[in-house]
Structure 1
Amino acid sequence: MKLENRYTKKQMIENINECILKLYENESKKAMEQVLVLLEQFQTMIENCNEDDNLSEKRKGLSFLHELLEQYKYGDILAIADCLQKNAKQFIEEYYEINQKENSGLRHEYI
């Protein structure tokens, strides 16, 4: 069962960019609240990756999520911003590309 993905790709990128800006501008309280929302959404996206079809994507997502959680745990604002800039955007691009193919019937199984 797929969980609800509340945001479009564009909205996710905008949310990430807004959060990164807040982190770099030292609006830490607002930014950290936004990071929690993003963490929840990333977790939902990872859970939506079918293990058989998207195992590689799921592994990348879990690795990225683990890194982001570690940075959040230590309150390292700049490391969180860097992780979002580098890894979150890449994960979003790949996630939506794969899901767009699945939803449009363009995904092919390879033997």
Structure 2
Amino acid sequence: MSARTVTLETVDRGTVTILEPGWCRGHEGEPPQRYTDVTHRSVTARAAGMLTVHLSQAPYLVGSPEPYPVVSVQLDYNGDLRADDVPQLFEAFRSVERVVAFVAAEAIRLRGES
């Protein structure tokens, strides 16, 4: 996917035009933010009702800009299980593993396109 440009309103630099990676879902509806906080995000994948994962890149961060996409993961599970429900949990973890591995492979692939 090739990069395109997008024009954003920032609170500290006014209107800026930046490169937007082809995998970015876009910035429509986002409120103005600081230039250094501009973050590109891909669509979000969900797994097993307990994990969300997407590509993310914040190329303008001060101190540690992200030149390549990173894998952003949120794991949301808290609960008690009966012992005989543990195999189902392990199956859910395998689903999570497949989804995260897919997104990580995409991030690695995109590094080669930069």
TM range (shorter): 0.3 to 0.5
Structure with the larger strand share:
2
TM-score under structure 2 length normalisation: 0.33
Larger Rg: 2
Q: Which has the higher helix share?
A: 1
* Length-normalised TM-score, structure 1: 0.34
Higher relative contact order (CA 8 A, sep 6+): 1
